[in-house]
Amino acid sequence: MHFIFAAYESGLLKALTTPCDRQTLIEKLGIKRPDLLDALLDVGLATKELAIKNERFFISRKRSKAIMNDKGDILAAMIHANITYYSDAYRHATYRMQGGELGDYLDQIGDLVAWFSRIGEPIIKDFIASIVAGKNPMRILDVGCGSGVFLQSAYNANQNATGIGLDIDEAVVQQAKDNIAAWRLKDRFDIFHGDIRHSPEKIVGPFDLINLFNILYYFHEKDRIEPKLCTNDMIF
């Protein structure tokens, strides 16, 4: 996993979608310390994620190939999160068990959270589509909208859908705005930066559907309430 992370982050895997020799890799990746590239290549060969033939390196194992295919983005996000954010829980476990600060990095990793949260997309997208299909009007508030993909899913299932995406992280808000623009949905959905606990004035209801996905850890335990299920009103 560490090799795949470094190879992906450095651009090595992308470069090796076409077999390359060492010098070509140095030039493609702008390498300033070739000895470190050599070490990374050695690890790739040792783990058999890479192979070499006629002095040209290439990707040989399914794991590294999978991360570079058109559906590999979520796998890349999971590996990135495990090597960086999640490993912190173990790296500082002793310090924290002995009374050290727990640490709060949510304001630093919002874009990463939005990235790896996409693992739930296949399930949530189908769920949202089943709820909004055939409904008119269908005004949506997506709290913690991340990439904006669930708003896109709602529109794909129901062209009457309009609404608002809200996120607490400015970098994620920009990501969502860019996506909504690229999907040509700017006339359907507005994206705002803010905290639902102190809702921006621009967020005005009513809404037919409010979505909150993968944001529980942004709320302190004392601020959480027991969930209620009411299928008639679509409150989950």
Which tens digit of pLDDT belongs to each residue from 82-113?
A: 887 777 777 778 888 888 887 666 666 666 66
Whole-number pLDDT of residue 236: 41
For the chain, the structural domain boundaries read 2-67, 73-114, 120-223
Between 49-53, 54-58, 61-65, 125-129, the lowest mean confidence (pLDDT) is in: 125-129
Output the average pLDDT for the chain.
85
pLDDT for the residue 116:
66
Torsion of CA 159, 71, 6, 88, to 10 degrees: 60
**DSSP states of the chain as a string?**
-HHHHHHHHTTHHHHTTS-EEHHHHHHHHT-S-HHHHHHHHHHHHHTTSEEEETTEEEE-SHHHHHHHSTT-HHHHHHHHHIIIIIHHHHHTHHHHHTT------TTT-HHHHHHHGGGGHHHHHHHHHHHHTT-SSEEEEEET-TTSHHHHHHHHH-TTEEEEEEES-HHHHHHHHHHHHHTT-TTTEEEEE-BTTB--TT-----SEEEE-S-GGGS-GGG------BTTTTB-
CATH of 2-67, one of 1.10.10.10, 1.10.3210.10, 1.10.8.190, 3.40.50.300: 1.10.10.10
CA angle, 12 then 13 then 16, to 5°: 85
- pTM of this prediction? 0.60
Taking only the tens place, the pLDDT of each residue in 140-179 is 999 988 889 899 999 999 999 999 999 988 888 998 999 9
pLDDT tops 70 at residue 235: no
Confidence of residue 10 (pLDDT cuts 50, 70, 90): very high
Residue 124 has pLDDT above 90, yes or no: no
The CB-based long-range contact list for 85-94 (8 Å cut-off, 24+ gap) reads: 85/109, 85/112
CATH superfamily entry for domain 120-223: Vaccinia Virus protein VP39 (3.40.50.150)
